[in-house]
Chain A
Amino acid sequence: MPNAALVPDDGTSSVLDAQDVGRVVDRMAHQIIERTAKVGPDVAGIALLGIPTRGVPLARRLAARVAAFDGPTLPVGELDTTLYRDDLRLRGVRPLGQTVEPLGGVTDRLVILVDDVLFSGRTIRAALDAIRDLGRPRAVQLAVLVDRGHRQLPIRADYVGKNLPTAIEQTVRVLLAETDGADAVLIADKAGSR
């Protein structure tokens, strides 16, 4: 556990350290190259869409790793799902994130949504609605760093960095160098221990 400083002493334990995260992202990049090669040689037809906050740097990393492994150069966009959530009325007003369409838009492309943790699936449902207002992709796939289970909607990921069996009251946090100073995946026993 090289980044012990990131792990608070309150029942939190580290699931992936910085090295693991790097390896997992590399594997996902390889999977994207393989799977999209089957889709067709039309490189211009693929775009990555990161979901804020941590989906955005993850999408950028995936694009960088795909390019480093001699894959295509994929345009990266950002998709804020806040306004499309089904739980807006359940608590106070949420601040808005940024939406940036990938260069060339989404219409007629294979769009790969990228997020850090897949849990209930509600964020992804919101993202699918948000994409619909941007255009009509040829297909939509989903890449997540961690799938922690407990889906509340019929949604599954196409690329999963790590399947992490959890209890529903546990919290999973992904830390990334871009947003948190270092890479790690943490799990905590009691909800809201951050």
Chain B
Amino acid sequence: MNRHLLSAGDLDRATAVDILDTAERLDHALAGREVKKLPPLRGRTVVNLFYEDSTRTRTSFELAAKRLSADVVNFSAKGSSVSKGESLKDTALTLEAMGSDAVVVRHSYSGAAHRLAEWVHGSVINAGDGTHEHPTQALLDAFTMRRRLRGGEGDLAGLRVVIVGDVLHSRVARSNVLLLATLGASVTLVAPPTLLPVGVDAWPAATGFDLDAVLPASDVVMMLRVQRERMTESYFPSAREYARRYGLDARRMAMLHDDAIVMHPGPMNRGMEIAAEVADDPKRSTIVEQVTNGVSVRMAVLYLLLGGADE
């Protein structure tokens, strides 16, 4: 594996499968154990550098690092020197001077993680940069699909995945499209035309506007959150109309075949992109599983980046 994890597109098939296999092993190693802790990152320090609000990603990385016995420093922009005007570079160099081995960074600017990787000596893990990428989310989604539909082994060749909703603002969608294509799945993006990014034709995915038409032939439906905080103009007439055309409700869920699963990266807008009864469906919804799997996948990434000799 490279020194950094910046983009899901940087992973080749073998590396991606290795991460998923390692996550599977780590998950099994800890399952049902009294002591949920493993020693390989003892004495290593991981800094969570979060310039954007986050509940699950930050706690997930923190838990993953701690389960591997690393020391964790949590840094959030609020209440730090950032409010005094310190730049990303100065903040990162300050943290590195204190001896951090890896920086997990979330930033509202696309490309922030790439810039950071040029400045620091340790590993950089992209935990979300603007509307660009969120590679560990794509990995945990692939892990969840592989477990549910491929017996936890190999790649995702032939899997039919439809990603629905606010693709324009979604780093989750972009990372998923890149990783799923690498793993051999075929991806269809369904969204209102206003919420598809310019240049989506170049992505390794098909696009469509009619959700009902693609559901019967899908193994995985991934609903995206409508990111109102990133919307400066109106992209669709009303929430009701969006829900009617692109929301996943019980009627649409009934169109799926028996083994198909429903995913959502969270946090959800219940009643908007996903109906409550769908989100809570015990058989199809993997939303809670995704959170659990996130810890295993992030453990695997941290182990593969920090578990060996320094270069």
B-binding residues in A (CB < 8 A) = 80, 82-84, 88-101, 129, 133-135
A-binding segment of B29-37, B210-218, B267-275, B282-290: B29-37
- How many angstroms from the CA of A158 to the CA of B28 in the assembled complex? 30
CB interface residues, B 25-63, toward A, < 8 Å:
25-26, 28-29, 32-35, 37-40
By a CB distance below 8 angstroms, the chain A residues around B18 are 95
- How many angstroms from the CA of A95 to the CA of B15 in the assembled complex? 12
Q: Would you give 28 A-B contacts (Cβ < 8 Å), ordered by A?
A: A80-B25, A83-B29, A83-B38, A83-B40, A83-B303, A84-B38, A84-B39, A88-B308, A89-B308, A89-B309, A89-B310, A90-B309, A92-B308, A92-B309, A93-B1, A93-B307, A95-B18, A95-B22, A96-B25, A96-B26, A96-B29, A98-B25, A99-B25, A133-B33, A133-B37, A133-B38, A134-B33, A135-B34
By a CB distance below 8 angstroms, the chain A residues around B303 are 83, 93, 96
Residue contact A93 to B304, C-beta cutoff 8 Å? yes
Across the interface, name the chain B residue whose C-beta is closest to A85. Answer: B40
By a CB distance below 8 angstroms, the chain B residues around A90 are 309
By a CB distance below 8 angstroms, the chain B residues around A101 are 32
13 new A-B pairs (CB below 8 Å) besides A80-B29, A94-B307?
A: A80-B25, A82-B40, A83-B29, A84-B38, A88-B40, A89-B308, A93-B307, A93-B308, A95-B22, A96-B25, A96-B29, A99-B28, A134-B33
By a CB distance below 8 angstroms, the chain B residues around A100 are 28
- How many angstroms from the CA of A91 to the CA of B22 in the assembled complex? 18
- How many angstroms from the CA of A82 to the CA of B18 in the assembled complex? 16
Q: Tell me the dominant secondary structure on chain B's binding face.
A: loop
- How many angstroms from the CA of A60 to the CA of B40 in the assembled complex? 28
By a CB distance below 8 angstroms, the chain B residues around A80 are 25, 29
- How many angstroms from the CA of A89 to the CA of B33 in the assembled complex? 26
Residue contact B1 to A97, C-beta cutoff 8 Å? no
Q: How far is the CB of B203 from chain A (nearest CB, A)?
A: 31
- How many angstroms from the CA of A82 to the CA of B303 in the assembled complex? 11
**Could you mark each residue 120-141 of chain B with 1 if its beta carbon is under 8 Å from any beta carbon of chain A, else 0?**
0000000000000000000000
By a CB distance below 8 angstroms, the chain B residues around A99 are 25, 28-29
- How many angstroms from the CA of A168 to the CA of B200 in the assembled complex? 61
Across the interface, name the chain A residue whose C-beta is closest to B307. Answer: A93
Q: How far is the CB of B164 from chain A (nearest CB, A)?
A: 35
By a CB distance below 8 angstroms, the chain B residues around A133 are 33-35, 37-38
Q: How far is the CB of B5 from chain A (nearest CB, A)?
A: 13
By a CB distance below 8 angstroms, the chain A residues around B26 are 96
Q: Which of A89, A94, A129 contacts B39 (CB 8 A)?
A: A129
| Residue among B28, B34, B40 having the largest count of chain A Cβ atoms under 10 Å | B40
By a CB distance below 8 angstroms, the chain B residues around A92 are 308-309
- How many angstroms from the CA of A91 to the CA of B1 in the assembled complex? 14
Residue contact B28 to A98, C-beta cutoff 8 Å? yes
Residue contact A91 to B308, C-beta cutoff 8 Å? yes
CB interface residues, B 107-156, toward A, < 8 Å:
none
By a CB distance below 8 angstroms, the chain B residues around A94 are 307-308
Residue contact A88 to B307, C-beta cutoff 8 Å? yes
- How many angstroms from the CA of A96 to the CA of B310 in the assembled complex? 19
- How many angstroms from the CA of A129 to the CA of B37 in the assembled complex? 12
Across the interface, name the chain A residue whose C-beta is closest to B36. Answer: A133
- How many angstroms from the CA of A95 to the CA of B1 in the assembled complex? 12
- How many angstroms from the CA of A95 to the CA of B304 in the assembled complex? 9
Q: How far is the CB of A104 from chain B (nearest CB, A)?
A: 13
Q: How far is the CB of A160 from chain B (nearest CB, A)?
A: 29
- How many angstroms from the CA of A181 to the CA of B25 in the assembled complex? 26
By a CB distance below 8 angstroms, the chain B residues around A96 are 22, 25-26, 29, 303
By a CB distance below 8 angstroms, the chain B residues around A93 are 1, 303-304, 307-308
